Amino acid sequence: MAHDARGADRSGGRPRRDVSRPGLARRSRTPAGAGRDEPAPMSDLVTMRLDGRVALVTGAGSPDGIGYATARRLADLGARVAVVSTTRRIHDRAEELGVTGFVADLTDESEVGALADAVADQLGDVEVLVNNAGLASRASPEVLRPVTQLSYEEWRGEIDRNLTTAFLCSRAFTGGMAERGWGRIVNLAATAGAVNALPTEAAYAAAKAGVVGLTRALAMETVADGVTVNAVAPGTIHTASSTLVELKQGHGTPVGRPGTPDEVAAAVAFLCSPAASYITGQMLVVDGGKSVGESQFR
């Protein structure tokens, strides 16, 4: 089933939420070590299952991408999954996965608000959010220019696509997660910016480094409310948008090949699960050991 958040009915149904003023998080004021809720049974903590929980995966329009692989894995774990992208091809992805699809421009505050209402109406309150939107694709390629040649519009475009989307979606759903006392947010960062960088990718690197900063700050804001916030930073991953140069770089990793979307999705799914209850504010690098091995000079 697919829906267009841009055309959502705003005249009836549940009241339109104001995503610029999210609900106050439910904070625990009990002194440390005194009278706080007892931990959940260990059997609940260690499970990977997400049965019945509503999960939203952004940027899942490509059948060969990380968002698609993540949505499939979360559905396999029992979640009720919604996927969203900026184009109507999400209809095909939703049908293939047996999930619910939405169309929305996640750089637009009003469209994110409409999306939040539409998902709540169709599936219920979002408990798992994967901010994958923003990764480069053939339809929306990364801007590769030296800083001195980078226009302000190109800079803003990269920041909005890679960082603003994560901010707007996180803001729209975090308050509800905190009020209910459970939630998982996983942001897709990248090794670029947070671990390393290459010439001509300043805007992309800055945006992805910003995703890590957002992740850590939000994790500290929600730590008392049962909400964890983490980031996954892929290295070279073989997707439909991979260039020959990128694939060659992947073969230069210690593992000896590029990664796959399914391998990234496995890391994302773990951080979305109840089993990851004691992990928050962290960045998990998935790059075949490239960031660990010493540089090779030839």
The 10s digit of each residue's pLDDT in 42-53 is 555 689 999 999
Q: Which CATH number do you get for residue 140? A: 3.40.50.720
- What lies within 8 Å, CB to CB, of 297 at 6+ separation is none
Estimate the share of the chain in helix, then strand, then coil, as percent rounded to the nearest 5: 40, 15, 45
- Whether 74 is in a domain gets the answer yes
Residue 212 lies in a domain: yes
Question: What pLDDT score does 298 carry?
Answer: 43
| 250 occurs within a structural domain | no
Distance, in Å, from the CA atom of 30 to the CA atom of 206, rounded to the nearest integer, reads 38
Handedness of CA 245, 65, 263, 184 (dihedral sign): positive
**What pLDDT was estimated at residue 143?**
79
Q: What is the pLDDT of residues 87-146, one digit of tens each?
A: 999 999 999 999 999 999 999 999 999 999 999 999 999 999 999 998 655 456 677 899
Structure confidence at residue 15 (pLDDT): 46
Average model confidence (pLDDT) across the chain: 86
Half-sphere exposure of 86 (CA within 13 A, CB side): 13
Residue 253 lies in a domain: no
Query: Is position 58 within any domain?
Result: yes
Query: With 60 as the cut, is the pLDDT of residue 58 above it?
Result: yes
Mean pLDDT of 245-271: 92
Residue 92 lies in a domain: yes
Of the residues 68, 152, 204, 278, only one is catalytic, namely 204
Domain count within the chain:
1
The Cα–Cα gap between 245 and 234 comes to: 16
In a domain, 8, yes or no: no
Is residue 17 a part of any domain in this protein? no
pLDDT tens digits for range 7-19 = 544 444 444 555 5
Range scoring the smallest mean pLDDT among 28-32, 34-38, 43-47, 125-129: 28-32
| Residues 154, 142: Cα–Cα separation, whole Å | 10
Between 298 and 17, the higher pLDDT residue: 17
User: Residue 153 pLDDT more than 70?
Assistant: yes
Identify the sign of the CA torsion 276, 269, 210, 19: negative
pTM of the entire predicted model: 0.86
Query: Which residues form the domain of 70?
Result: 54-234+262-286
Mean pLDDT of the 273-296 span: 91
Is 152 marked active-site? no
Q: How far apart are CA 99 and CA 153, in angstroms?
A: 35
Going by the DSSP 8-state scheme, the letter that residue 236 receives in this structure is S
pLDDT at 268 over 80: yes
pLDDT above 90 covers a percentage of the chain that reads 73
Residue 96: count of CB within 10 angstroms of its CB: 13
DSSP strands (E only) in 21-176: 54-58, 80-85, 100-103, 128-131
Q: Which of 72, 60, 191, 209 is nearest to 131 (CA)?
A: 60
Q: What are the tens digits of pLDDT across the range 62-72? A: 999 999 999 99
Q: Calculate mean pLDDT across residues 78-87.
A: 97
The residue-averaged pLDDT of 32-42 equals: 46
* Euclidean distance between CA atoms 155 and 203, whole angstroms: 6
Query: Left if phi > 0, otherwise alpha if psi is -120 to 50, otherwise beta: which for 258?
Result: beta
Cα distance between residue 56 and residue 8, in whole Å: 17
Helix/strand number for the chain, H first, E second:
10, 8
